[in-house]
Structure 1
C-alpha cells in the first residue's frame, strides 16, 4: 500500500480501492468490445454474433458481400474508367473501319464500293442496337453490356480480318456494330450519369475525351500493326486487349451504382441531394417522346451537325495533302483532334447547372460554321486560313458528342434521360453512316468548295434546330408558372 494511504481512515481507503476496481473493469470492457467490433462480421447466425457481438443486428456493408463502402467519392474514378472504354470503343468501332476498309481492299482485292457498304452496314446495325441499349442495360446491367461489347468488338474485328467471302464480311459487321453500340456515346453516358448531376458536363467531357485519344492512339497503331503483323494478328492483339481491359473495368467500376455503395451523386450529402429542384417536365413514355418538340429538335440538330462533321472529316486529310504534303497534312488533321479535346474540356468545366445548354450547343455549331467558311475562303492554298479553319472546326468536334447528353439532362425527367440519349445517338449514327458517301458525291461533282459550303449550311441548320427546342422549353415553363401544374410537353 502506498505511504500516502497508510494514515488514511479505513473508509477512505475502501473508497479508493472501489474507484480503482471500477476503472480496471471499464478498461477491460472497452478492450473486449473493440476486439469484438473488429472480429464480428455482423451477420446473423455467426458464433461471435450469438455470443453478444456489439455490432450484431446493426446494418453493415462488408467486402465479403461485395458492397464495401469506400471512404472517398468514386465518381471520378468511374469517369476515368469510362474514358478508357471510350479509347477502345472509338479506336476500334469508329476510327477502325476506315483502316479496315483499306486493309480488306488491299488483301482481298474487293472493290472499294463493296467494302464501303460494309462500313455503312457496321454503323447502321450499331444504330439499331443503340436505340435499344437502355433495355439491354436493364436486363444485364451496364457492366454486363460493357463486357459483352468488348467481346463482340474483338469477335467482329477478327471477322473483318478473316472474311474469305463478302457475305462473311457483312456477317462480321453484325458483331462489330453491336460492340460499337455497347461502347459508344450512349454507353459512356450510362456509365457516368448515375454518379453526377451538378458536375455531369465536366465528367462527361472527361470521359468523352477518350474518344479523341482513341483516334490519336489507335488509328496509327492499327496501321503499324497491320503492316508489321498482318491484319489477322493485329485484329487478335487489339481485340484481345480490348476485351480483357473492358472485362476488368466493368467488374470494378460499373457493376454497382452510387446508391448501392452508400454514396450520393457528385459526392454530396444526402441533404443536398434532397434539396435539388425537380424537373419541371412530365415523363414521356412510349411513342409520346417522338411527338415531343424538345426531343425532335435535339435529335434533328444532333443528326444534321454530325452528318456535316463526319462528312467533312472523311475528306479533310485528302484535301490537305495538296497544300501541305502528306506528313504535314497528318499533323494538321491531328490539330483538329487536339482542339476537340480543348473545346470539350473547356465547355464541360465552364458549364454550370443554370447554363442554357441549347444556346451552348448552337454556339458550338456556329464556331464550326466559321471554321468551314475559313476553309472555303482558303481556296485550298492559303496555309494560315486552312489552319485557322481546322482549329475552329476542331474546337466543336468533341462537343457535338458530349453536349446532347447534357441537354437531355436539363430538358427531360431523369427516368427519360437514358432513353433520350440512346435514341438521339441512334438517329445521328444512322444519319452520319451515309455522310462520307454523300460528301464524296458533292466533291466529285462540284469540287471541294461545295463540300465546305455544304458543311457550313448544315451546321447553320443544326444550330437553328437546337434553338427551336429552346422555345419549347420556355413555353413549357410558362405553362407551369401559369397554372401551377407540371407541363405535359
Structure 2
C-alpha cells in the first residue's frame, strides 16, 4: 500500500536536520571557535585562523572522493563516518593545550563538514525526485540558515555557561545523539527503487517523471556544461564569501558596531527568505537563467555600494545581496542535477564541488589582500563585482555554446 507521505520527503527532513548541525558546528561554528579559543588560551587570531583555513581546505579536498563513495555505496556509510569525524573534531577543539593541536582537530572537523554539507546532502536527496528535484534540495539545504540562526547562538551559550572544554563536549555529544540514529534509521534506503517506487513516489511501472532539464548532458557537451557551471559558481562564491567575511567591517564604517550587527542579522534574515522563495519557484524555471539573475542582483548590489558608498546604498545593497546569497549557494547542485541526471549526480558534483570550495575558501583572504592594496572597501567591491560578472558570463555562455 502506498504511504501517504513519500519516503523521499522523510529523506529531505532528515537532511534538513543534518544541515542544521553541520553548518552550525562547521562553517558558522568556526567563528565561535576562533573567539572562544583565543579568549581561553590567549593565542593569536592568526594562529587559530590558520587552523580554520586547514578545515576549509580539507573539506574542499574531500568532495570528489565523497561523491564517488556515495555513488558506489549510498549515503549512509559516508554520512555516519562524517558525523563521527565532525563531533570528534568539535569535542577535541575544547581539549587542546598547544596551538599545533588545533590542526588535527580542524582536520577532523573538515572531513565531517565535507561529508555533511552541500555535496553529501544533495547527493542523498537527488535519487528520490525528478519533478521536485530543485525544491527538495533547496528545502534540505535550508537547514543551513537555521544552523546560523539557531545553532551559533546555542553554541555560544553552552561555551559561555559551561566553559570551552565542557561546552564543546556537550555540543559534540548532542550532535552525535541526534544525527547518528537519524542517519542510520532514515537513510537506510539508497533510492525509491528500494521501495518499489520511481522518483517522486510514482508507481515503479509508470517510470516516474520524465524530467524537464533545459540542457541534457551528452558526450559532446558534458565537459563544457560542467566546467562552465563550476567556474561560474566558484568565482561568484569567491566574491560572496569574501563579502560575508568582511561585511561587519564594511558596515561598521557607516553604522557603527551595533548597527553593523543589526545589518548582518537582517542580511541573514533575507537570505532565509530568498531560500524560501527559491523553493517555491525553482522547479518551474530554467535554473541556469535563475542563477544568472541572482548573480546579476549581487553584481548590481556590489556596484551600487562601491560606486556610491553611503548608509542608504549599504543597507539596500546588503539586503539585495543577502536575498541572492541563498540562490547562489543552493543552485550549484541543482544546476548539475538538472543537467546530468540523478545517476551521475554524486560523482559529477563531487568533482565540481572540489573546485568550487577550493576557490571560494580563498574569499576572505582575497578581499583582505585587495583591501590592503587598494586602501579602502569601495574599490574592493568593484573588483568583486567584476569577478561576479565573469561568473555570470561563464554560466550563461557555457550553456549557449553547448547548445
Q: How high is the TM-score relative to the length of structure 1?
A: 0.77
Q: Name the counterpart of 2:162.
A: 229
Does 2:370 match 1:370? no
Does 2:185 match 1:252? yes
Does 2:98 match 1:178? no
Q: Name the counterpart of 2:240.
A: 309
Does 2:82 match 1:149? yes
Once the two structures are superposed, the pairs formed by residues 240-279 of structure 1 within 5 Å of their partners are: 240-256=173-189, 257-273=191-207, 276=210
221-230 or 426-435, which deviates more: 221-230
Match 1:468 to one of 390, 394, 397? 397
Cα distance change, pair 243–98 in 1 and its aligned pair in 2 (3 A): same
- Please say if residues 201 and 348 of structure 1, whose CA atoms lie closer than 8 Å, have aligned partners that are also in contact: yes
Q: Name the counterpart of 1:386.
A: 314
Once the two structures are superposed, the pairs formed by residues 183-198 of structure 1 within 5 Å of their partners are: 183-198=116-131
1:275 Cα offset (Å): 6.5
1:72 Cα offset (Å): 3.0
Match 2:217 to one of 278, 281, 286? 281
Q: Which consecutive residues of structure 1, in runs of 5 or more, have no partner in the other structure?
A: 1-67, 475-489
Structure exhibiting the larger radius of gyration computed from Cα positions: 1
Query: Secondary structure of the residue that 1:397 maps to in structure 2?
Result: helix
Cα distance change, pair 138–359 in 1 and its aligned pair in 2 (3 A): closer
Q: Name the counterpart of 1:163.
A: 96
- Please say if residues 130 and 210 of structure 2, whose CA atoms lie closer than 8 Å, have aligned partners that are also in contact: no
Q: Take 2:199 and 2:166, find their aligned partners in 1: how far apart are those partners?
A: 43
Q: Deviations over 1:415-449 (max 9, x none)?
A: 32212222222211111222212211222332111
Q: Take 2:32 and 2:370, find their aligned partners in 1: how far apart are those partners?
A: 23
Q: Deviations over 1:133-186 (max 9, x none)?
A: 023225653122222211111111122222222331111122100000111000
Highest RCO, 1 vs 2 (Cα 8 Å, sep ≥ 6): 2
260-269 or 298-307, which deviates more: 260-269
What root-mean-square deviation, in Å, do the aligned CA atoms of Structure 1 and Structure 2 show? 2.2
Q: Take 2:254 and 2:160, find their aligned partners in 1: how far apart are those partners?
A: 27
- Please say if residues 312 and 451 of structure 1, whose CA atoms lie closer than 8 Å, have aligned partners that are also in contact: no
Does 2:60 match 1:127? yes
Q: Name the counterpart of 2:135.
A: 202
- Please say if residues 198 and 208 of structure 2, whose CA atoms lie closer than 8 Å, have aligned partners that are also in contact: no
Q: Take 1:211 and 1:275, find their aligned partners in 2: how far apart are those partners?
A: 29
Q: Take 1:274 and 1:79, find their aligned partners in 2: how far apart are those partners?
A: 19
Q: Which consecutive residues of structure 2, in runs of 5 or more, have no partner in the other structure?
A: none
Q: Take 1:249 and 1:102, find their aligned partners in 2: how far apart are those partners?
A: 31
- Please say if residues 199 and 266 of structure 1, whose CA atoms lie closer than 8 Å, have aligned partners that are also in contact: yes
Query: Secondary structure of the residue that 1:198 maps to in structure 2?
Result: coil
- Please say if residues 16 and 141 of structure 2, whose CA atoms lie closer than 8 Å, have aligned partners that are also in contact: yes
1:313 Cα offset (Å): 0.3
Q: Take 1:278 and 1:103, find their aligned partners in 2: how far apart are those partners?
A: 48
- Please say if residues 123 and 345 of structure 2, whose CA atoms lie closer than 8 Å, have aligned partners that are also in contact: no
Q: Name the counterpart of 1:443.
A: 371
